[in-house]
Structure 1
Amino acid sequence: MLIKSADVRKAKNNKPFIAFTFQDKSGQIDGKFWDAKEEDINRFQAGTVVFVSGKRELYQNNPQLRISKMRLAQAGEPSSPELYMERAPIRTEDMIEEINQTLFEITSAPINRVVRYLLKKFHKEFFDFPAAKRHHHAFPGGLSFHTISILRLAKTVVKNYPGVSQSLLYGGVILHDIGKTIELTGSLSTEYTLKGNLIGHIVLIDEEITKACEALKISEDNEDIILLKHVVLAHHGKMEYGSPVLPHLLEAEIIHYLDNLDASINMIDTALQRTTEGSFSERIFGLENRSFYKPNVTPPAQTE
């Protein structure tokens, strides 16, 4: 497995241990390495492929690996981290094409120009980064896949509710999480940057919209720009969830709910993939520690 993260902590007896998150293409699992020595801490770093022997157990209804033996991958064994990383289910080229086609549907010139500018500035990171360190779409390409999933939902909303501003909704969806390209370190061994920890992606993208306006000679007092900033700043829906302002536009409210919907579906779907039929999933931290039931699926009747 790949070591996705390796956090050194101290046990109650004051001895160091390593809290690991391992992953392969089927998902991830946590494990504790007790009584870690200095050489263990130096050897088992995030981004390293290891061979692990252990037992899968449940701790507070969450799967955890009780490690019995662990070693580094040896010569001749598959040791490239990319072999153990989940990928977005859509090819990068197809995601780029879908985003580019959507740009033609943003008819507000100021919003279109700012969105194009920031997509070009963060192009590589946007199509490579995860959408989060752990909770949802936490895999390479997860950021762009999450964005496209919300865009598809947004296009259905526009068809059903003609009063919605297509330009503002699509522009806000594309930019709402692009600040994570600054907030996070990348797709391998994802951590929060200093700016990510101290400022956060919502304020960071607001700053980037300001910089884009300066570069493009667009006034920040332009109403479309003010509205674009608002839907981005309000997309977490509540101040206690990190938004500095509550949604006060129809499009801001829509983006908030579509963002939550897509993230929730991804977290539940990921947990259910690791759950046997007729039982409950592990607890999902991002959904109030709730667990979800996976129904028994009756196979279709055979016809003669």
Structure 2
Amino acid sequence: MDDFYAKIDTINETTYDTNTLSVIDEAGLRRTLRIDENAAVREGEVYHFTVEPIVFKDREQWLVTAYVPLVEQAQDDGERDRLMDVFYTFAPASTEQLKRSIETYLAHMSDGPIRQIVEAIYQRHHQAFYLYPAATRFHHAYIGGLAHHTETMLRLAEGLLAVYAFLDRDLLIGGVLLHDMCKVLELSDFKNPEYTREGRLIGHITMGVKEVAKTAETLGLYDTEERLLLEHMVLSHHYYGNFGSPKKPNVPEALALHFIDNIDSKFAVLGEALAETEPGTFTQSLPVIDRERFYKALRKK
């Protein structure tokens, strides 16, 4: 009997009552397993396998007796992050760090309708929120990318709040926390995401507005100005209609949210490109920054 985590590389269906799995374990070693033909496993997924030795066609092999998806088996954030980093591209910050920072911002919001609506939506989606990417490609397109993007935006918001006293802190922080929350509904999963049917036909912006409205109604807050303002924050954060926003920002905090989102989505891509660029040369063309190429200076910081 043995047990280990491994990612399924290929599934080979056979004429027997078991199929063949080719998996790669934590050490990067490839193993061949046999599993019941009706087992609900998928290529590209990581499972905790329990196996036992068998003889199949005069050869010693391993038969899977139990399998549990990684996210169900590894409940501790630290252990889950470690395994995610082994098998997938993971955020450059741990779930524990991101959660501590984000929940500190939540805790410091003033009591009132904005906090009540934001907290209710956060609690509804927080497990998926720390796993999902922020996009399928371009920026923060890795596991934990949505939370990493959001937490970076919260820290960027601090700069604007420190300079422009007329900005409403709770509204801006609430808008940052909610603006992409419905990516967890727009995308199919956190590992190899595609757009869901609702994601393609409606999109995370409209989904987010509906989520705010539904939550406000449940809390008895639908008729408040705060509900309307949060809806506007989510609705307008892409600014342009061809990027999904039917309305441009018409409150200061919504404009701030748009610029913060735009800054982080572009600078995250630029930072990744510069990390792969030799000093004295230019990055590759970057589609999210008008296909420009950026020079990496020889001088050290």
TM-score of the pair, normalised by structure 1 = 0.70
Given the alignment, which residue of 109, 112, 119 partners 2:112?
Answer: 109
Q: Residue in 2 aligned with 1:154?
A: 157
Q: Cα deviations across residues 123-154 of structure 1 (Å, max 9, x unaligned)?
A: 11111111111110111111011001000111
Q: CA–CA distance in 1 between the matches of 2:196 and 2:8?
A: 19
> Conserved in 1, the CA contact under 8 Å of 2:161 and 2:167?
yes
Q: What does 1:88-167 align with in structure 2 at a 5 Å threshold?
A: 88-107=91-110, 109-167=112-170
CA offsets 1:140-180 (integer angstroms, 9 cap, x no match): 11101100100011112111111110110000000000010
Whether 2:235 is the aligned partner of 1:233: answer yes
User: Out of 199, 206, 216, which is 1:196 matched to?
Assistant: 199
1:162 and 1:198, CA in 2 relative to 1: closer, same or farther beyond 3 A?
same
Q: Aligned in 2, Cα 1:244/1:282: closer, same or farther, shift over 3 Å? A: same
2:277 corresponds to? 275
Q: Secondary structure at the match of 1:293?
A: coil
- Whole-Å Cα distance in 2 between the matches of residues 178 and 131 of structure 1? 9
Distance 1:104 1:271, change over 3 A: same
1:110-132 superposed Cα distances (whole Å, 9 cap, x missing partner): 11011110111001111111111
Answer with 185-194 or 169-178: which moved more: 185-194
Corresponding residue for 1:288? Answer: 290
Q: How far 1:104 sits from its partner (Å)?
A: 2.8
Within a 5 Å distance, the mapping from 1:1-304 to structure 2 comes to 47=44, 83-107=86-110, 109-219=112-222, 221-297=223-299
Greater C-alpha Rg: 2
The whole-number CA distance in structure 1 between the counterparts of 2:170 and 2:240 is 24
Moved over 6 A (4+): none
Question: Identity over aligned residues, as a percent?
Answer: 36
Distance 1:81 1:230, change over 3 A: closer
Q: Give me the whole-angstrom Cα distance separating, in 1, the residues matched to 2:158 and 2:236.
A: 20
| Deviations, residues 179-217 of structure 1 (Å, cap 9, x unaligned) | 101011222112111111111110011111111112212
- Would you say how many aligned residue pairs link Structure 1 and Structure 2? 228
C-alpha distance in 2, partners of 1:295/1:262? 21
- Which segments of 5 or more consecutive residues in structure 1 lack a partner in the other structure? 5-44, 50-74, 300-304
- The amino acid across from 2:103 in the alignment is N
Distance 1:82 1:251 in 2: 35
How far 1:106 sits from its partner (Å)? 2.0
Are 2:172 and 2:253, in contact at CA under 8 Å, matched by a contact in 1?
A: yes
Provide, for residues 76-129 of structure 1, a one-character-per-residue CA deviation record: whole Å limited to 9, x for no partner: xxxx87524222222212221212211133225111011110111001111111
Alignment CA distance shift 1:82-1:93 (3 Å): closer
Measured on the aligned residues, the alpha-carbon RMSD in Å equals 2.4
Q: TM-score, normalised by structure 2?
A: 0.71
The structure whose RCO (Cα within 8 Å, separation 6+) is larger is 1
Kindly tell me: are residues 46 and 271 of structure 1, through their superposed partners in 2, closer, same or farther at Cα, counting changes over 3 Å?
farther
Structure 2: which 5+ residue stretches go unaligned? 1-6, 10-41, 47-61, 63-82
